[in-house]
A and B are shown apart, each in its own frame.
Chain A
Amino acid sequence: MPDEKQVTLTQMWARQSGIVVQVQGGHGVVNRLSALGIIPGKRITKISSMLMRGPVIVEVDRTRVAIGFGMATMILVQLDNEATK
Chain B
Amino acid sequence: MKILLMGNPNVGKSVIFSRLTGVRVIVSNYPGTTVSYTRGLMKLGDETAEVIDVPGTYTLEPTCKAEEVALQMLDTGDVVINVVNATNLERNLYLTLQLLEKGVPVVVALNMWDDTKHQGINIDLDKLRGLLGVPVIPTVAVTGQGMKELVENIPKATLPGIPTHSRDERWAAIGSIIDQVQQVTHRHHTWRERLSDASVKPLSGGIIALAVLAISFVVIRFIGESLISYVIEPLFNNLWAPVLSKLSGLLGGSGFFHDIIIGKLIGGEVDFVQSFGLLSSGLYVPFGMVLPYIISFYLVLGLLEDIGYLPRLAVLLDTIMHRLGLHGYAIIPTLLGLGCNVPAIMATRILESKRERFIVATLISIALPCAALQAMIFGLVGERGGQYVAIVYGTLFVVWIIVGTILRYTVKGFTPELLVEIPPYRLPQWRATLQKLWMRVYGFLVAAVPIILGAVLVINILYFVGVFEAIANFTAPVITNLFGLPKEAVTAVVIGFLRKDVAIGMLAPLALSAKQLVVGSVVLAMFFPCIATFVVLLRELGVVNTLKSTGIMLSAVLITGGILNLVL
In the complex, what residue of chain B is closest to A72 when comparing beta carbons? Answer: B417
- Contacting B318 at CB < 8 Å: which of A48, A62, A68? A68
Q: Are A67 and B419 in contact (CB under 8 A)?
A: yes
Q: Are B119 and A62 in contact (CB under 8 A)?
A: yes
Q: Are A55 and B63 in contact (CB under 8 A)?
A: no
Known pairs A47-B197, A54-B318; A37 contacts B91 (CB<8 A): yes
In the complex, what residue of chain B is closest to A54 when comparing beta carbons? Answer: B319
Complex CA gap A47/B417 in Å reads 19
Q: Are A50 and B327 in contact (CB under 8 A)?
A: no
- Distance (whole angstroms) from the CB of B425 to the closest CB of chain A: 11
The verdict on A85 contacting chain B, using a C-beta distance below 8 Å, is: no
A-B pair number, CB within 8 angstroms: 99
Q: Which of A55, A65, A71 has the most CB of B within 10 A?
A: A55
Point out the residues of chain B lying under 8 angstroms from A54, CB to CB.
202, 315, 318-319
- Distance (whole angstroms) from the CB of B465 to the closest CB of chain A: 56
- Contacting A36 at CB < 8 Å: which of B58, B119, B167, B319? B58
Chain B interface, number of residues (Cβ within 8 angstroms): 34
Point out the residues of chain B lying under 8 angstroms from A48, CB to CB.
197, 200-202
Complex CA gap A33/B58 in Å reads 10
Known pairs A28-B63, A57-B200; A68 contacts B419 (CB<8 A): yes
Q: Are B319 and A71 in contact (CB under 8 A)?
A: no
The verdict on B59 contacting chain A, using a C-beta distance below 8 Å, is: yes
Q: Are A70 and B417 in contact (CB under 8 A)?
A: yes
Complex CA gap A57/B327 in Å reads 15
The verdict on B111 contacting chain A, using a C-beta distance below 8 Å, is: no
Point out the residues of chain B lying under 8 angstroms from A64, CB to CB.
196-197, 200, 421-424
Interface code B151-174, partner A: CB below 8 Å = 1, 0 otherwise? 000000000000000010001000
The verdict on B88 contacting chain A, using a C-beta distance below 8 Å, is: yes
Known pairs A48-B200, A48-B201, A54-B318; A63 contacts B91 (CB<8 A): yes
- Distance (whole angstroms) from the CB of A60 to the closest CB of chain B: 8
Q: Are B200 and A36 in contact (CB under 8 A)?
A: no
- Distance (whole angstroms) from the CB of B118 to the closest CB of chain A: 12
Known pairs A35-B59, A48-B197; A55 contacts B88 (CB<8 A): no
Complex CA gap A45/B398 in Å reads 38
In the complex, what residue of chain B is closest to A15 when comparing beta carbons? Answer: B197
Known pairs A48-B202, A64-B200; A57 contacts B318 (CB<8 A): no
Chain A interface, number of residues (Cβ within 8 angstroms): 31
In the complex, what residue of chain B is closest to A62 when comparing beta carbons? Answer: B88
Q: Are B63 and A52 in contact (CB under 8 A)?
A: no
Interface code A59-85, partner B: CB below 8 Å = 1, 0 otherwise? 011111111111100000000000000
Q: Are B420 and A37 in contact (CB under 8 A)?
A: no
Complex CA gap A65/B312 in Å reads 10
The verdict on A31 contacting chain B, using a C-beta distance below 8 Å, is: yes
In the complex, what residue of chain A is closest to B57 when comparing beta carbons? Answer: A35
- Distance (whole angstroms) from the CB of B6 to the closest CB of chain A: 14
Q: Which residues in window 301-354 of B have CB below 8 A to A?
A: 311, 314-316, 318-319, 327-328
- Distance (whole angstroms) from the CB of A11 to the closest CB of chain B: 18
- Distance (whole angstroms) from the CB of A12 to the closest CB of chain B: 15
Known pairs A48-B202, A54-B319, A66-B311; A33 contacts B419 (CB<8 A): yes
- Contacting A67 at CB < 8 Å: which of B61, B196, B418? B418
In the complex, what residue of chain A is closest to B174 when comparing beta carbons? Answer: A37
Complex CA gap A64/B64 in Å reads 20
In the complex, what residue of chain A is closest to B67 when comparing beta carbons? Answer: A35
- Distance (whole angstroms) from the CB of A62 to the closest CB of chain B: 6
In the complex, what residue of chain B is closest to A68 when comparing beta carbons? Answer: B417
Point out the residues of chain A lying under 8 angstroms from B418, CB to CB.
55, 66-68
Q: Are A50 and B61 in contact (CB under 8 A)?
A: no
Point out the residues of chain A lying under 8 angstroms from B311, CB to CB.
66
Point out the residues of chain B lying under 8 angstroms from A28, CB to CB.
63
In the complex, what residue of chain A is closest to B200 when comparing beta carbons? Answer: A57
Q: Are A31 and B61 in contact (CB under 8 A)?
A: yes
The verdict on A1 contacting chain B, using a C-beta distance below 8 Å, is: no
Q: Are A71 and B419 in contact (CB under 8 A)?
A: yes
Complex CA gap A53/B328 in Å reads 13
The verdict on B383 contacting chain A, using a C-beta distance below 8 Å, is: no
Complex CA gap A51/B197 in Å reads 15
The verdict on B281 contacting chain A, using a C-beta distance below 8 Å, is: no
In the complex, what residue of chain B is closest to A57 when comparing beta carbons? Answer: B200
- Distance (whole angstroms) from the CB of B309 to the closest CB of chain A: 13
Q: Are A51 and B91 in contact (CB under 8 A)?
A: no
Complex CA gap A36/B8 in Å reads 10
- Distance (whole angstroms) from the CB of B183 to the closest CB of chain A: 14
Complex CA gap A77/B327 in Å reads 25
Point out the residues of chain B lying under 8 angstroms from A67, CB to CB.
417-419
Point out the residues of chain B lying under 8 angstroms from A69, CB to CB.
417
- Distance (whole angstroms) from the CB of A59 to the closest CB of chain B: 9
Complex CA gap A78/B168 in Å reads 20
Complex CA gap A67/B420 in Å reads 7
Complex CA gap A62/B88 in Å reads 7
Known pairs A36-B58, A55-B418; A50 contacts B318 (CB<8 A): yes
The verdict on B37 contacting chain A, using a C-beta distance below 8 Å, is: no
The verdict on A24 contacting chain B, using a C-beta distance below 8 Å, is: no
In the complex, what residue of chain B is closest to A32 when comparing beta carbons? Answer: B63
Q: Which of A31, A47, A54 has the most CB of B within 10 A?
A: A54
Q: Are B315 and A55 in contact (CB under 8 A)?
A: yes
The verdict on A39 contacting chain B, using a C-beta distance below 8 Å, is: yes
Complex CA gap A55/B417 in Å reads 9
Complex CA gap A57/B197 in Å reads 9
Complex CA gap A69/B418 in Å reads 8
In the complex, what residue of chain A is closest to B198 when comparing beta carbons? Answer: A48
Q: List 23 A-B contacts (CB under 8 A).
A: A31-B59, A31-B63, A35-B61, A35-B94, A36-B419, A36-B421, A37-B90, A37-B94, A39-B167, A41-B171, A48-B201, A48-B202, A54-B202, A54-B318, A55-B319, A57-B422, A61-B90, A62-B119, A63-B422, A64-B200, A65-B420, A65-B422, A68-B327
**Shortest Cβ-Cβ A-B pairs, 3 listed:** A68-B417, A35-B58, A64-B422
